[in-house]
Amino acid sequence: MNSTLFFPETDTEITLTNESAPQTMPPSVGRLHNVDAKRLVNCDTVDVNQLAPLKYSWAWEHYINGCNNHWMPSEVPMGRDIELWRSDKLTDAERSVILRNLGFFATAESLVANNLTLAIYKHVTNAECRQYLLRQAFEEAIHTHAFHYICESLALDEKAVFNMYREVPSIARKDEFEMRLTEDVLSEDFSTKTPEGLERFLTNLIGFYVIMEGIFFYSGFAMLLSFHRRNQMTGIGEQIQYILRDETTHLNFGIDLINGIKEENPGLWSPALQARMIETIRTAVELEIAYAEDCLPRGLTGFNAGQFRDYVGFIADRRLERIGLPIQYGTKNPFPWMSETIDLGKEKNFFETRVTEYQNGSALKWD
Ligand code: FE
Ligand code: MN
């Protein structure tokens, strides 16, 4: 069987025989560069190997943004953290808060990376979104690297830190919640072509971008950054700031993707699905509050577990709004300094350690 390629600019048809056709050429190739035919999911007509012309410029912007924020964990100095960790200046409660949060993040980043590459990537049928997903996947690898680097620097028991997601119930419950969503999309008969399948796919996206990266990470960010605010564990704090900046882009991309799929598939975002998503987010909020209370059994300077109930509700409301759902909590942000932290441009005087305006290539010196 021969396939025909049509080049609209030249009105030329080229017939490829099976022998000359590249093996990766999908049989459905028709008009090339038909931008309007691009679709975020279930696109059968546009070759996903052809990035340009772009249709979803937001995906490309997130990609460029991610590249401009490139950083490596090993470039963050850890000397002061090592000194403090070895000293007797941290209480047992403070050490336990740090360890629990490292334990959560150490594996959570891998769960996100695996969901991204094994569950999401295959079903997103658009080249510019895939370009972003590849960048994000690398950033998740860098984040896992950061927690490994922190463990190594502080000479922590890595086996214990990386196994907490099996051993600490409040971590295990958050991760099980996410892993179920990954399995839903990994099953062999899964397809986004049925309305039920597409709903499951959207649920996975909301579960990872909105809940995992948008809610489950935030108590941990606040707890770890609170040390940085007191000028303690500033190496960990600096890495968390870089991670938080990356995660902000992941969340923004995820929300654009979720809302884009909703727009392109009228009927998908039904009142029933919206109600289910509100319930799912409410369940996640309870898991996150339980996690924060578990991390702070004896309190921590400047914090009590009750504030996390307000904080997680506040964060969840912001996420709900962005995917077009009604807010559920109406709580105030008890940690306004966290919003300042997200905008690293303002950070320079706020935190006293080095904060690099990281642009790619800035680390290259030829002397
Ligand atoms: Fe991450
Ligand atoms: Mn992420």
- Which pLDDT tens digit goes with each residue over 14-27? 344 344 444 455 54
146: CA distance to ligand 1 center in Å? 10
Kindly identify the ligand whose nearest atom is closest to the C-alpha of 252. Answer: 2
Q: Quick check: 148 and 215 in contact, CB under 8 A?
A: no
| Residue 349: per-residue pLDDT | 33
**Residues 154, 157, 163, 165: is their CA dihedral positive or negative?**
negative
295: CA distance to ligand 2 center in Å? 22
10: CA distance to ligand 1 center in Å? 45
Residues with CB under 5 A from ligand 2 (ion): 213, 247, 250
Q: Name the catalytic one among 56, 63, 132, 149.
A: 149
pLDDT tens readout for residues 160-187: 999 999 999 999 999 999 999 898 898 8
Reported for 137-145, long-range contacts at CB under 8 A and 24+ positions apart, including other chains, are 137/113, 139/66, 139/246, 139/250, 140/109, 140/110, 140/112, 140/113, 140/116, 141/113, 142/71, 142/72, 142/73, 142/246, 143/105, 143/109, 143/243, 143/246, 144/106, 144/109, 144/110, 144/113, 145/72, 145/73
- 30/108: higher pLDDT: 108
Active site residue 291: no
- The CATH code for residues 59-341 is 1.10.620.20
Kindly identify the ligand whose nearest atom is closest to the C-alpha of 146. Answer: 1
How far apart are the two ends of the chain, measured CA to CA in Å? 59
pTM for the model stands at 0.86
56: CA distance to ligand 1 center in Å? 23
pLDDT tens readout for residues 288-312: 999 999 998 776 777 877 899 999 9
Q: Quick check: 289 and 312 in contact, CB under 8 A?
A: yes
pLDDT tens readout for residues 314-331: 999 999 999 999 999 999
Could you tell me the two tokens for 287? 């898991």
